[in-house]
């Protein structure tokens, strides 16, 4: 599986998204469509970006009863996305149902990855709000192992967790890591960050990069810098 840079297109309209993507001329970067853009524009934004030739990670983080997730995944699969995701806390049975729903009649399916614990959840909120009393890094690894057991392809995780996930779930289990910043860039609201070169060194399979590219004076140059640090 080739390493790739996924651009987080965190825009609130199709117009802003296309204005951004138009900068790339002939290039077709892998893009992430999250809840903001999807809820603003609906499935047509996925079809339009796909028709322009981009690969798509649809980041909708499903979490519901297994039957609902299975049927929703079947719909997303027909949208022809390349990668989608769900919350591992929905249980192994929910994840297995998701795989079933996602698998097309010809046996193909988009990659499916799991969110373990959100990076906005810390030990204190996990204990007080969720009544989970294990260590958060153990919870993250346990959820990753559950995702592997259910047949998923990988997890979204902090770049700092990628090595441990590979050690626990196998080298072929994908790690998709946000929280990437250039050594000379702003870290913004991200707490634990890594450069693209560091993410490559610790074995991330995909990096998800938003503002370092979308807010750059020259987004194409920023994207190419990510590609050369991470992929080459």
Query: Which residues belong to the active site?
Result: 61
Q: Is the dihedral of CA 70, 75, 78, 80 positive or negative?
A: negative
Number of residues that bind ligand C5P (CB under 6 A): 14
Question: Which is closer to ligand C5P, CB of 23 or CB of 119?
Answer: 119
Question: With contact defined as beta carbons under 8 Å apart, do 223 and 24 qualify?
Answer: yes
Binding of ligand C5P by 211 (CB under 6 A): yes
Beta pairing class for 206-209 and 174-177: parallel
Rg of the chain over CA atoms, in angstroms?
17
CB atoms within 10 A of CB 113: 25
Contacting ligand C5P within 41-100 (CB under 6 A): none
- What's the DSSP call for residue 108? -
Least gap, CB of 153 to ligand C5P (angstroms) = 16
Binding of residue 8 to ligand C5P (CB under 6 A): yes
> Could you tell me the maximum CA-CA distance found in the chain, to the nearest angstrom?
50
User: Which of 132, 136, 190, 224 touches ligand C5P (CB under 6 A)?
Assistant: 190
Answer for which of 5, 17, 34, 46 binds ligand C5P (CB under 6 A) is 34
* 159 lies in the binding site for ligand C5P (CB under 6 A): no
Q: Is the Cβ of residue 211 or residue 225 nearer to ligand C5P in the bound state?
A: 211
Considering the rule CB under 6 A, would residue 209 count as an interface residue with ligand C5P?
yes
119 touches ligand C5P (CB under 6 A): yes
Written as six digits, the tokens of 227 are 């590609």
If the CB atoms of residues 30 and 103 are measured against ligand C5P, the closer one turns out to be 30
- CA trace torsion 46, 180, 184, 35 (10° rounding): 40
Tell the smallest beta-carbon distance from residue 180 to ligand C5P (Å). 6
Report residue 9 as tokens: 């297109």
CB atoms within 10 A of CB 185: 15
For residue 210, state whether it binds ligand C5P (rule: CB under 6 A).
Answer: yes
CA gap 61, 34 in Å, rounded: 9
Q: Is 208 in the site for ligand C5P (CB under 6 A)?
A: yes
Binding site for ligand C5P (CB under 6 A): 8, 10, 34, 118-119, 156, 178-179, 190, 208-212
């Amino acid at each position: 599986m080739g390493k790739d840079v996924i651009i987080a297109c965190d825009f609130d309209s199709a117009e802003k998204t296309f204005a951004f993507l138009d900068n790339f001329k002939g290039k077709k970067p892998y893009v992430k469509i999250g809840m903001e853009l999807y809820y603003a524009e609906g499935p047509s934004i996925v079809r339009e970006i796909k028709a322009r030739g981009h690969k798509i990670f649809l980041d909708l983080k499903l979490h519901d009863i297994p039957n609902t997730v299975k049927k929703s995944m079947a719909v997303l699969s027909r949208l022809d996305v390349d990668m989608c995701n769900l919350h591992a806390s929905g249980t192994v049975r929910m994840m297995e149902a998701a795989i079933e729903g996602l698998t097309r009649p010809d046996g193909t399916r988009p990659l499916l990855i799991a969110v373990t614990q959100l990076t906005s959840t810390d030990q204190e909120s996990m204990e007080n709000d969720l009544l989970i009393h294990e260590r958060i890094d153990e919870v993250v690894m346990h959820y990753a192992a559950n995702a592997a057991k259910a047949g998923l392809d990988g997890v979204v995780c902090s770049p700092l967790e990628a090595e441990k996930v590979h050690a626990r779930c196998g080298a072929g289990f994908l790690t998709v890591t946000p929280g990437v910043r250039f050594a000379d860039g702003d870290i913004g609201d991200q707490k634990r960050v890594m450069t693209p070169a560091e993410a490559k060194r610790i074995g991330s399979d995909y990096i998800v990069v938003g503002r370092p590219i979308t807010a750059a004076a020259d987004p194409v140059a920023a994207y190419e810098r990510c590609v050369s640090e991470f992929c080459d």
